[in-house]
Structure 1
Amino acid sequence: MTIQISRASTDDAEAISQLIQKLVHHFTVDPEGRGAEVFLKSAEVDAIRGYIAAPNFCYFVARDEDHLAGFVGVRDNAHLYHLFVDPLHQGRGLGRQLWDQAKAWAITEGNGSGFTVNSSPNAIPVYERFGFQATGERTEMNGIAFVPMRLELVAWRAD
């Protein structure tokens, strides 16, 4: 099984939306998504197409042949907006690969200070392994539970 990571196109929006819907129970307060209608609307195909096409977003997809194995999206070169890995591919380092790809791209595009993410409570250990640290308490808003986190970039100087 060979995973290929590439820039997302608007043609990927349907598969991205389906993967989010498949995993919605991991980050909504209600496992069925009740109360999270605002978020769920933002995960519909047309909304995802809009993010992919927007100049302040960058998305990468990981494919195993024709199957979407995962994806990552960064907003404004500073906020990890989406990171989802299909359960069939979890635990194999794919999330790290996607994050490393998106982070490198965002740094190249001019981010020098760091990144933020609103982590679902169950994903906190993953983001901690990436170097993020919690900056606030667990918050529930619009049916979504999250913990705000930040990754500071360390500037190295050659003297």
Structure 2
Amino acid sequence: MRIRPLTSDDIPAAASLLRAAAEEFILHESSPANAAAFLAAQGEEGMRGFLADGYVYHVAEVGGELAGFIAVRQRSHVYSLYVDKRFHRQGIARRLWDAARVAALGPDHPGAFTVNSSNHAVPFYESLGFVRTAPMQASTVCYNPMRLALGAGGAFVDPA
């Protein structure tokens, strides 16, 4: 597996992966209109806009194939993290998170990361140390606001 920055050539494959994953794991909780709005905003054009706005993307390649990607906004918010279902349970999401976290850290980092997790992904984020900060929310999609506090050097801080 190779983790690297996303290039514009990766966007069609990343958008296709996002669509397939969202349809299987997220959008069943949304109305058809909200699901369509989500997919329209997250397609190739949306990804190109996010990239132009400074979102930092990393992709995971397995055998030359795009197996997953992560996008981080303003160095502290995990905006997207998707792994192709064929590659689940192989550590790809964790490796993508590690690469994104390291890339985001620096002397002026705010000391925490946030994510609006799908219901499906909550156990994964909890395994990384994220905790829910509010009950599940429903807008275009259902999501769970979560936060991960960091200590010195970007290490996880147990909130207990």
Q: TM-score, normalised by structure 1?
A: 0.88
Residue equivalent to 1:77 = 75
Aligned partner of 1:42 in structure 2 is: 41
Query: TM-score, normalised on structure 2?
Result: 0.87
Which of 119, 128, 135 is matched with 1:121 structurally?
119
Counterpart-to-counterpart distance in 1, 2:29 and 2:135: 19
Matches within 5 A, 1:11-50: 11-25=9-23, 26-30=25-29, 33-50=32-49
Note the C-alpha offset of 1:35.
2.0
- Residues 107 and 24 (structure 1), Cα distance of their counterparts in 2 relative to 1, 3 Å cut: same
Asked if the contact 2:70–2:96 (Cα under 8 Å) also holds between the matched residues in 1, the reply is: yes
CA 1:43–1:63: 2 relative to 1, 3 Å: same
Aligned twin of 1:140 = 138
Hey, what's the Cα distance between the residues in 2 that align with 1:38 and 1:153? 34
Give 2:144's aligned amino acid. V
Q: In 1, Cα distance between the equivalents of 2:67 and 2:113?
A: 24
Structure 1 unaligned blocks of 5 or more: none
For the Cα contact (< 8 Å) 2:119–2:144, is it kept in 1? yes
RMSD, aligned α-carbons: 1.8
* Aligned-pair identity (%): 34
Structure 1 residue identity aligned to 2:112: G
Q: Which moved more, 1:94-103 or 1:26-35?
A: 26-35
SS at match of 1:108: coil
Higher helix share: 2
CA distance in structure 2 between the aligned counterparts of 1:84 and 1:11, rounded to whole angstroms: 18
The runs of at least 4 consecutive aligned structure 1 residues that moved more than 3 Å come to: 29-34
Partner letter of residue 45 of structure 1? E
Q: For residue 4 of structure 1, what is the aligned residue in structure 2? A: 2
Contact conserved, 1:24 with 1:33, CA < 8 A, in 2?
no
Q: Which moved more, 1:35-44 or 1:85-94?
A: 35-44
Listed as ranges, the gaps of 5+ residues in structure 2 are 154-160
Q: How does 1:93-112 map to 2 (within 5 A)?
A: 93-108=91-106, 110-112=108-110
Across the two proteins, how many residue pairs are aligned to each other? 152
Q: Deviations over 1:62-84 (max 9, x none)?
A: 11133110000000001000100
Identify if the C-alpha distance between structure 1 residues 8 and 133 changes in structure 2 by more than 3 Å, giving closer, same or farther. same
